[in-house]
Amino acid sequence: MSVPAPAPVPPVHGLQGPATCLVTGAGGGIGQAALAQLLAHPQVAQVHAVVRRAPGADPLAALAQAHPGRLHLHLADLTDEAALQRLADAVAASTPALHLVLHCAGLLHAPGLQPERALAQVRLAALQQVFAIDAFAPILLARVLEPLLPRAQQAVYASLSARVGSIGDNRLGGWYAYRAAKAAQNQLLHTLAIEWRRTRPQATCLLLHPGTVDTPLSRPFQARLPPGQLITPAQAAARLLAVIAAATPADSGRFLAWDGAPIPW
Ligand SMILES: NC(=O)c1ccc[n+]([C@@H]2O[C@H](COP(=O)([O-])OP(=O)(O)OC[C@H]3O[C@@H](n4cnc5c(N)ncnc54)[C@H](OP(=O)(O)O)[C@@H]3O)[C@@H](O)[C@H]2O)c1
């Protein structure tokens, strides 16, 4: 006699019916892996994937072809407030409710932008560029998507922060803009969690550290990592989705690592 496989854990704790999800940074390392895993989940009915540029012949285009009508692609620069509102309007046009938002867009380096090693390298333009996506986008995205979070069901708003954003854990220094922007993101979303405790008690707002993940963001800084520290985007996504699935509204406002362990502010 064959034993039936156990039912998969709902993507959001306590959610009975089908789930609708939204993933930002869906063209990036962790975002794309999370998108693929959500699309493979039997309880996920629809996923809205947000990218900055139209996909070419990349895995995202293949996912879109494999899941017509289930995967909705949106183009948006998340540092543009008007684009955020257009995104929310476009999602609302096809989706009455979002049960899970996973914000994976972020920035550490770019052409002409390198994490600072010393005070002499700190520049206003770089601080503004990094804060725009790593601090401001997550809270502004929450503002435009809030009306789509159901009041009668549990919903999760999870955002990828970083352990280096922890002030208590900062022993090495450097990376001024990125560290400070992630710390600001933590404060903004922790504040939001306190508001939602009153206004949306079924909503869980999480700040998550994905681990050290082999993606374009970390690639220039991997050389001096201890062996075994680097994980794949698929491993990171699986761990993050497990932390999200286990979280309840009592966890709202927490800063958690990929294994569910709390990180000091
Ligand atoms: N990788 C790690 O080891 C690690 C560790 C700690 C925390 N994190 C955090 O995890 C998150 C995901 O990182 P990742 O490793 O997956 O990096 P990634 O592969 O570089 O992906 C980041 C994604 O964010 C998108 N993005 C950047 N600016 C944007 C904007 N203004 N509008 C819309 N999208 C934008 C990028 O789009 P484009 O491709 O168009 O640039 C890219 O797809 C980030 O918040 C990062 O800080 C990563």
CATH number of 19-257: 3.40.50.720
φ/ψ of residue 80, rounded to 5: -105, 110
Q: Average pLDDT, stretch 190-216? A: 97
* Structure token pair of residue 133: 């996506």
Buried b (16+ CB within 10 A) or exposed e, 77-116: bbbeeebbeebbebbeeebeebbbbbbbbbbbbeeebebb
Q: What is the pLDDT at residue 1?
A: 65
What's the rounded Cα separation, in Å, for the pair 203 and 179? 27
| Residue 52 beta carbon below 6 angstroms from any ligand 1 atom | yes
Q: What is the pLDDT at residue 8?
A: 81
pLDDT digits (tens, 9 = 90+) for 94-135: 999 999 999 999 999 999 999 999 999 999 999 999 999 999
What's the rounded Cα separation, in Å, for the pair 157 and 15? 14
Residue 49 has pLDDT above 80, yes or no: yes
Query: 25 C-alpha to center of ligand 1: Å?
Result: 6
pLDDT digits (tens, 9 = 90+) for 150-186: 999 999 999 999 999 999 999 999 999 999 999 999 9
Query: 27 C-alpha to center of ligand 1: Å?
Result: 9
Residues whose CB falls within 8 Å of the CB of residue 74, separated by 6 or more in sequence, listed in order: 48, 49, 50, 51, 87, 90, 91
Cα-based torsion angle of the residue sequence 197, 23, 13, 40 in order, rounded to the nearest 10 degrees: 170
pLDDT digits (tens, 9 = 90+) for 216-225: 999 999 998 9
Q: What is the pLDDT at residue 58?
A: 82
Question: What pTM does this model have?
Answer: 0.97
DSSP count for the chain of H helices, then E strands: 7, 9
